[in-house]
Structure 1
Amino acid sequence: MTDSLDQAKRALRAELRERRQQLSDAQRESAAEGIRVQLEALVDALGARSVSCFLSSPTEPGTRSFINAAIEQGLRVLLPVMREDGLLDWTVASPGGQEVQSALGVPEAVGELLGPIAVNDVDLMIVPAAAVDRGGMRMGWGRGFFDKTLGSMARRPPAYAVIYDSELVDSVPQDVHDQPVTGVVTPTRTVRLPADT
């Protein structure tokens, strides 16, 4: 990654992080409800029986009410667990499941680890992002876990990034390792993007 690309990503991430931190509790709760509604509609539209998702941190668009509702409806939900080698391991979400704070400060589920290839069996991947551009290019938070996972899958299911409405942008700085997504889910809409044609 060139210095100018790295600086552009850092600047955009800092701006997005600050915007997210300025949201009120009421705005976060409203966004989480919107995300739940949009994700449930997406699951129905795709006929998904198994999904991967992530435990949202306090500043991320909330995924927890969706995860709880999905478990109640009998969906199999896989949650990521970061490994030291930069890959993601997976565990099955359970009602009232335990979680810990990872070394990188993000919430992670506690449970039996299924291995990195467990995600190959899901019908839909729901991934975090800092921003996504209209071409479908996803910019994460710089750790590379989801880019490595998405890039390593031979037969990838639809992958949708969960973001706030303002984080669907015209373009994001991109590096050769960055991976596109099928679309985005925001609190008010689900948008399929032209990246996976």
Structure 2
Amino acid sequence: MTDQEAAAEEAKRALRRRLRTERAARGPAFAAERAPGLSAQLQALTEQLGARTVTAYLSLPEEPDTRAFLRWAAASGIRVLLPIIRSDGLLDWAEHDGTETIEATLGIPEPTTEALAPSALDEVDLMLIPATAVGRDGSRLGGGRGFFDKTIASMRECPPVYAVVHDEELFDSVPHAAYDQPVDGVVTPTGIHPTLRS
């Protein structure tokens, strides 16, 4: 690792710690109160792009709440693929059917349906992914394990990728390294924000 990469990693860790502390201080009620607004923005983006198959995720209590959007998608006939963490650090995907379980290792909620073949991602029209913070320049600060970066980097043709964060977690730029995958846009409870990359 070069000195520049090491400095970027330290800056990422520092910002991640600060924002996680802020999320914990606000508590789950903060995300719950803003869930209707976030769902409306996610619905608008899905309709704007004409997406019929999307990837999303089951949010943790202090993350922006995705469950209202998942309910809308199910009622609207939108196919949703949710991630399952693999032991090798990559992701499998499974269809959302309204059920979930808590994955024992990392405490991440996961679908209970059977994992699909990797080719299922070829049918995705929009990827909605979690983030700790995002920059208007397309830079994304994830959770630190690189699951989504690896997935996006491995895709031959990637659909539009939008990260989901609280309004307070959208910046002009966030610390990032060359291997961090940029996003096309950001969705917050108050708006849809295309990045400078898109």
TM-score by length of 2: 0.93
Give the counterpart of 1:35 among 33, 38, 41.
38
Report if the CA contact (8 A) 1:100-1:110 is conserved.
no
1:89 aligns with 92
Instruction: Output the amino acid matched with 2:159.
Output: P
Secondary structure, aligned partner of 2:127 = strand
Instruction: Map 1:92-131 to 2 at 5 A.
Output: 92-95=95-98, 97-131=99-133
Q: CA RMSD in A?
A: 1.3
For residues 136-175 of structure 1, what are the structure 2 equivalents within 5 Å? 136-175=138-177
Stretches of structure 1 that go unaligned for 5 or more consecutive residues are: none
1:55 is the counterpart of 2:58: yes
Residue 49 (structure 2) pairs with residue 46 (structure 1)? yes
1:16 pairs with 10, 14, 19, which one?
19
Corresponding letter in the other structure for 1:133? G
Residues 181 and 7 (structure 1), Cα distance of their counterparts in 2 relative to 1, 3 Å cut: same
Distance in structure 2 (CA, Å) of the matches to 1:146 and 1:82:
10
1: CA distance between counterparts of 2:147 and 2:139?
15
1:70 counterpart residue number: 73
- Aligned partner letter, 1:193: T
Aligned-residue offset at 1:67: 0.6
**Corresponding pairs, count:** 195
Taking structure 1 as the reference length, what is the TM-score of the superposition? Answer: 0.94
- How far does the alpha carbon of each residue in 1:119-145 deviate from its partner, in whole angstroms, 9 at most, with x for none? 221111000001111111111011000
CA contact (8 A) 2:28 2:61 kept: no
Task: Structure 2: give runs of 5+ residues left out of the alignment.
Answer: none
